[in-house]
Structure 1
């Protein structure tokens, strides 16, 4: 399995400029990838949770459509890092999984929100599910950032058959 992991610096916080940077990286690195993984909250630069309500977007929405197009163009499975998802009055730190055709086949909402030196817990809602996602590559389990510190997240996904863990 050919996996491409992308990382962006925090020097540019303009969303459109960050999209252009990722496009350039994908053009250079993503051509033969089976799986592409973007970082947590990559469209925002440094996370500023005080702006969640203005930056949050529905799924499907502008960013998820952009991610879908890239997965289809590259014929790769794509874990879209994470974005601030607006669902009604609630906001989540959400990771999306797209198949080679650009279809959204999975969604994971971060279940352990950071509170130390972060506003994340005060503005975002907790994801309740720990789904796994069957793909021809492997059954994937997705966790985001601070979830990594909680072994029960991975125990639950392993019990549900996860073979590969992806942590944007």
Structure 2
């Protein structure tokens, strides 16, 4: 299988976990009606993006109603689903965690956000995830029947080393559920996704929550899919929307033959390693 239908679910996240799960369910059901192979949900899709809400909404993996719901949907529709991210609790720690489900509803990948969003932009945005969250420390690549997917979350996209290691592990698609804001989004969102796709000659995907002006944190939206040539082949606006995009993984081979970046790397002089 070289052609894949990917569903970008730019959903409106509200301060009600059950409503968020029902909205995600509705979008996944609709994506299935278009025969999507792979569905991607946003960062913190079941929870408002706020430190106090991360604590309130946190779920343990074994008893998580969110994970249980998405698992059932993956099995029902026989599709791969990346459950954006949720606040995951383990003992006294809370992580920002993505879960990848296969067509049988099994978890085949789990990525805890490595790089926490601690920023202070004068006149723009102040946020410190580390006040609540703990960073992850593992690289995560998922083998799917259509290809290999490398996982990251939002701020992780700013660190090219993560993308490089995932691609060295075989990733053909890099996915970053994210929630850039109205300061960083217009400045860097598209630029970063184009850069990671171009650096590594892979497809790069970012799926964000829709802009909710009633929330304390305003997501930029603009869910995006970039091809290995660095071209934006799909970018949404700010409102809630489901978009189905078909990609052809054969484009990766074509681009790498035309401009053999990975082949021409000077591994005799430098390398990126996983500790």
Give the TM-score category using the shorter length: over 0.9
Matched ranges for 1:24-103 at <5 A: 24-31=26-33, 32-44=35-47, 46-60=48-62, 61-103=64-106
Aligned residue for 2:111? 108
Q: Distance in 1 between matches of 2:135 and 2:155?
A: 12
> Larger Rg: 1 or 2?
2
1:152 counterpart = 2:161: yes
Unaligned runs of 5+ in 1: none
Q: Any idea what the Cα deviations from partners look like across 1:22-80, whole Å, max 9, x if unmatched?
A: 22222222231110000000111x31112323311111321111110111111100000
- The residue that corresponds to 2:5 in the other structure is 2
Query: Structure 1 residues 51 and 13 mapped into 2: Cα distance closer, same or farther (>3 Å)?
Result: closer
Retained in 1: the 8 A contact 2:113–2:152? yes
Q: Which runs of 5+ in 2 are unaligned?
A: 120-125, 178-275
User: What's the TM-score, normalizing by structure 2?
Assistant: 0.58
* Inter-partner Cα distance in structure 2 for 1:25 and 1:55: 21
Tell me the TM-score normalized by structure 1: 0.93
Taking the aligned partners of 2:151 and 2:16, their CA distance within structure 1 comes to 27
Contact 2:21–2:66 (CA under 8 A) maintained in structure 1: no
| Matched positions, count | 166
Give the alignment's Cα RMSD to 1 decimal: 1.3
Other-structure match for 1:141: 150
Name the residue aligned to 2:255.
none
